[in-house]
Structure 1
Amino acid sequence: MAFLCLDISCLYIFLLCKAFGCTLASNVEIKVNPPQNFEIVDPGYLGYLYLQWQPPLAVDNFKECTIEYELKYRNVDSAIWKTIITKNLHYKYGFDLNKGVEAKIHTLLSAHCANGSEVQSSWSEATYWKPEQGSLETKIRDMDCIYYNWQYLLCSWKPGIGVHFDTNYSLFYWYEGLDNVLQCAEYIKENGKNIGCRFPKLESPEYKDFFICVNGSSESSPIRSSYFIFELQNIVKPLPPDYLSLTVKNSFDINLTWSIPEGPIPARCFIYEILFTEAGRSWMTNTIENEMHITRALNESQELCFLVRSKVNIYCSDDGIWSEWSDEHCWEDFPYEERSFFSSGDTLLTYQFPFT
């Protein structure tokens, strides 16, 4: 029958044996308590929550041992628990406050302190639900946020279904680096009601969770709040290239180059999509360079047209939004006498088109 080491005196015996070299029977079972006072705290940052706890009881008896904690957390409708192992007594994470949050934690005692096998405590659990008011239909609809050219953010939405005519919505936001939650300073309005927000220039918001809450007010009924989390680098819509150089050799070998789109996005962060049209046939290709060599599909055709657009690539974001297409530009095969002034040998034509 195994001996359960449950009380403080048993732990002292265990530590004395560690210090003076006595041998513990293999059937001695070491126990460790779970963390105390485990809780999920909402500091008011629109979904950025604190998970915090205190050391387990009798932890001083393990001063020479490594005490760690395994923390699992998720929104309540998620099938997957996220897991971390830490020596700290707190953890911060961004959650979707449209849903509940649940977490659990237990203590880990390393194998060298527990007779050769890692010891785990029982779980401590905690949950958090943002108090809800108003029916689901009163929430805003079709929230859309775009970070234009890595410079300014614009969000827009539609009112909830069937809300009273006096209903109006307000937007609040926060990201790590701000001291407090801020309200939108420049609303986009329609018929006197807020339907969007133009944000001011933001200080280094990229690669951080950007938290938004849109709530509402009405004298006739409560309005349900909506919460969103964005990573701004993943919703960037850049500008298209605005200048293209086209070089045609022998009427079928073509070199294309174009300017890097203007703005703060680094050149290494772009991917480009080029759309070609020739003799009624269209095809597309991608490149991360701002130049390309192609061979015309039909050497006898007298026209080749193309457009270019840009997007932030996978080296700088997880996703992105394609820019608008550039204006279409076409190359035409001019009569021989119009190009005879070039040097003998291979005919070399160079055209440069500014995109308008």
Structure 2
Amino acid sequence: MRFIFKTDYDQDIRILKHGGYWWSYGVLLALLIAAPFLVGSYLQSQMVFVFIYATVGVALMILTGFTGQASLGHAAFLAIGAYTAGYMQSVGVPFVVYFPLAAILTAVIGALVGFPALRLHGIYLVIATIAFAFIVEEILARWESVTNGNEGMRVRTLDLLGLSMPRGDESFYYLCLLVLVGSILLALNLLRSPTGRAFVAIRDSETAAKSMGIDLAAYKVKSFAISAGITGLAGVLFAHMMTFISPEMFTLLLSIEFIMVIIIGGAFGVHGAVFGAIFIVMVDPFLTALKDDVPVLAANLAASAGAARDTADALREWLHGVGSAAGLKGAIYGLIIMMFILFEPYGLYGRWLKIKLFFQLFPLYKRATFKRQKTYVKSERNR
């Protein structure tokens, strides 16, 4: 059992609060650094996607988890970062220039999106961000002189100061890991700053935040800009990872995947972005294997149970057709979101905290420690 006694304010806002954080995160970082030499190329590429998705998750955490502003338009911000990288590379601009430029451009556009969304809340803000995503997708398809339209754009291998970084190379892996670690440190330090505390105050109660002198409009726009800028950085890495980008890659489904990252991982901590990214990236290979293997397994079981060969083949074809049905992936994602909201609203990170607290307090742990409190709608909170 561990007891931590806080004696000053600096200790309370410290990122690594005790020695256990130092060695646990140190071991994790050492394993991530050694991973390219311990795993195969396929698993390494999946880890790169985890880093990119987790970076977007951190950005969305700042906007949704910290400030309470919902968004289904982050696929558009990712597209802006990706196309900025592709276009700048095609005209000969080096990576050290277009990488920060993509973040700045995306942040400016994010701020512009934040202004008309100031008077919108809840479902209306979600609809506004969806409309923004559709507008960006249409611009990418129509502005052929810059984006090549629906034909897509080829993105060459990343070149950093003369060092080539192919997408399957260890150097590109470490670059994505560095961007993720930097984004996490930025988010943690932002949360400890007056700006981050203003974000949290706006999330908890806009009325209370306004009564304390917080400029709601300025901080909401700032939250949109910071979140969009980090997503733009992830978009540059995404473009170099895919080596080819087209408007069809940045659809509403991708924005839903980003929302799933923080819902499944947990929207109240930066750790949730990493947990959610791991889940989302790894669920795709699982669904693919399920679609390919389950029909064959079911047909073999039917044949071994004495069913006719024609019946077993018909069952396999039917199951394969169900697995290949349009919209099945979105339906499964929707079911996963519903299950987490109903049965695990704190996400995977919340479940990890419960398990950790159980061992920390054992045998004094109480089941009511994480009992869900009564929630109020805004009209009731403001009475």
Bin for the TM-score computed over the shorter chain: under 0.3
TM-score between both structures, scaled by the size of structure 1:
0.21
Which one has a larger percent helix, Structure 1 or Structure 2? 2
Which one has a larger percent strand, Structure 1 or Structure 2? 1
TM-score between both structures, scaled by the size of structure 2:
0.20
**Structure of higher RCO (CA pairs closer than 8 Å, 6+ residues apart):** 2
